[in-house]
Amino acid sequence: MTSKLYDIRKVPFQTADGLTLDVTNIRGAKPPTKSPVLLVHGAGVRGNIFNAPVETTVIDALLAEGFDVWLENWRASIDFRLHDWTLDQAAFFDHPEAVKTVLHETGAQTIKAIIHCQGSTSFTMSALAGLVPQVETIVSNAVSLHPIVPRWSRVKLRLAVPVLARLMRSMNPGWGDDTPAGLPRLLGWLTKAAHHECDNTACQLVSFTYGAGRPALWEHENLNDETHDTFIQAEFGHVPLSFFRHIRACEAAGHLISLETYGTLPEDYAAAPPKTDARWVFFAGEENKCFLPDSQQASFEWFDGHAPGKHALHWLPGYSHLDVFMGKNAATDVFPKMIAALG
Ligand SMILES: [Zn+2]
């Protein structure tokens, strides 16, 4: 967690299917003067991914503006034991309960959310299904309703994932140079043979696991040395193949669909108007090689079609996927746009 002098309070919550997850409140020297903001991490990381070793994190920037900052650790968090989770489960069980917990703890009637990658796809499912009506503004990074991936990622999703899913339960870029014997070590060797962009095995394994670029989730020049050399390996962990099966199905459909049946979750999330009044502000790194920026363009156009002029889209030149939050210059290039979006 952050090394800065913040007051940090973890609040566990229970999901209806029996998991204990948590939200973490971060307070600065001054009490908040603005709305709670819930930050939702992506797959195979945790809430601390928003706390890269840079001079000003998105947490710092939000606190400086008076927001009440909450980090959600949903079932994909590496703080918890490995689960064979799907986006449906996160959408139905985790995010609605996290939102309710923040409302209960703060006494607020509404909150805002900053959602990233698979935290964004699954939170988008919650919102479109009408399960988080208390969220009035949603800032989404990288991907939301329309997962569009590079051609090589599509090949991996359609050909490699079904094979790997029979042989292993999860991938873990946090293995670094200590990949377990057997198939993981073979994948580690293959990854090192294919990736010569740097000497950091964790960075290479992230690219193998999540995208098609070298590297896939950031532009190297956007990261400082500590983030690249230390933070990546510390903050990336297990991600189950069950998740990749779900995103493969969504990618093939062109938009989010359900893999399982839970309560009122729709089979097809693009088939009906959104059951949320939230204003959406989409962010897309132009260099993103995990989910192409066309993903957020398509989602913005879908939402704009349902409420013309209400929502917004920001393309970020020179940025990729996670450097939007971890980048050494994100405090000047990105966070002011996000804070303006939150209002
Ligand atoms: Zn690297």
pLDDT digits (tens, 9 = 90+) for 90-127: 999 999 999 999 999 999 999 999 999 999 999 999 99
Query: What residue type is 234 in one-letter code?
Result: A
Question: For residue 86, what pLDDT is reported?
Answer: 93
Tell me what the mean pLDDT of segment 75-103 comes to.
Answer: 96
| 316 Cα: distance to centroid of ligand 1 (angstroms) | 21
| 220 Cα: distance to centroid of ligand 1 (angstroms) | 6
CATH T-level assignment (fold) for domain 7-148+260-342: Rossmann fold (3.40.50)
**Between 241 and 110, residue with greater pLDDT:** 110
| 225 Cα: distance to centroid of ligand 1 (angstroms) | 10
Q: What pTM did the predictor assign? A: 0.94
pLDDT of 301-314, one tens digit each?
999 999 999 999 99
| 293 Cα: distance to centroid of ligand 1 (angstroms) | 21
**In the predicted model, is pLDDT for residue 78 greater than 70?**
yes
| 192 Cα: distance to centroid of ligand 1 (angstroms) | 11
**Spans of all domains in the chain:** 7-148+260-342, 151-241
| 69 Cα: distance to centroid of ligand 1 (angstroms) | 30
Give a three-class secondary structure readout of 158-220. HHHHHHHHHHCCEECHHHCCCCCCCHHHHHHHHHHHHCCCCCCHHHHHHHHHHCCCCCCCCCH
| 150 Cα: distance to centroid of ligand 1 (angstroms) | 19
| 111 Cα: distance to centroid of ligand 1 (angstroms) | 36
Among 13-22, 136-145, 235-244, 334-343, where is mean pLDDT lowest? 235-244
**Region at 8 (left for phi over 0; alpha for psi -120 to 50; beta for the rest):** beta
Q: Of all residues in the chain, what percent carry a pLDDT higher than 70? A: 99
**In the predicted model, is pLDDT for residue 252 greater than 50?**
yes
Q: How many whole angstroms separate alpha carbon 123 and alpha carbon 126? A: 5
**In the predicted model, is pLDDT for residue 165 greater than 80?**
no
